[in-house]
Amino acid sequence: MDADFLINILLPALWEGLLVTLKLIILSAPFGLLFGTLLAVGRVYGGFFVNLFCRFFVGFIKGCPLILLLFILYFGLPSVGIYLSALLASVIGFICCNSAYNSEYIRGAILSVKEGQMIAASALGMTRIQAIRHVVLPQAMRRAIPGLSNEFIYLIKYSSLAYMITLIELTGAGKLIFSKYFEPDVFIMIGIIYLALVTITTVGANALEKKLAIPGTQGR
């Protein structure tokens, strides 16, 4: 790969694409975690209709390919008068997908907390909501960290699908450069950047898991 091409053409284009990728992740991940938590709580502690809605939402998202969901949001909704930008459609699609899978990790973690703790919290005068918030969720979220970190890594990779609805993120920027210059090393550079993002996430998640581990549950 020519140094002039690398410095003056490829790296600036990939940098711009990387900024869009990071924007997608930053906008999607917090809401994916928030809605995933609400879905999990609704599945475990919600009434019949809340539980039914949460089950339907999670089932629909898990059964619908993400690329199809993005097509529906960006190309399908205009047929009913709803127009979304490529960025907004991507963020909504990623939030839906991320929250559905996060909810499964969190739900499993909630179910791992012994029911007796809810009874003890009630005996101490806590309401059901207070017990969930202050007793169950703090433990469940700690136990869900490995699964949630995996889903965050998937989100990093999901972001490459935004190119399919015209949003030029990291992969899209590389594809445009390749289409113009036919330089295959472009994709090697993209792979290195994704690997760096995933490695940083993995190291951070491992450190967070160790820091927040419940005493007595650390692996030996």
First to last CA, the chain: 47
Per-residue tokens: 85: 């930008």
Span 48-60, pLDDT tens digits: 999 999 999 999 9
Q: pLDDT tens for residues 101-144? A: 999 999 999 998 888 888 888 888 888 888 888 888 998 999 99
pLDDT above 70: percentage of residues in the chain = 96
Q: How is the chain split into domains, by residue range?
A: 3-212
The pLDDT, as a whole number, for residue 220 is: 41
Closest Cα to residue 177, out of 186, 188, 165?
Answer: 186
The pTM assigned to this predicted structure is 0.90
At residue 212, the pLDDT reads 81
CATH of domain 3-212: 1.10.3720.10
Report pLDDT for 119.
Answer: 85
Which pLDDT score is estimated for 15?
94
The closest of 41, 66, 65 to 54, measured between CA atoms, is 41
| Tens of pLDDT, residues 173-196 | 999 999 888 888 899 999 999 999
Angstrom CA distances, 17 to 25, 158, 173, 181, 199, stand at 13, 14, 5, 17, 19
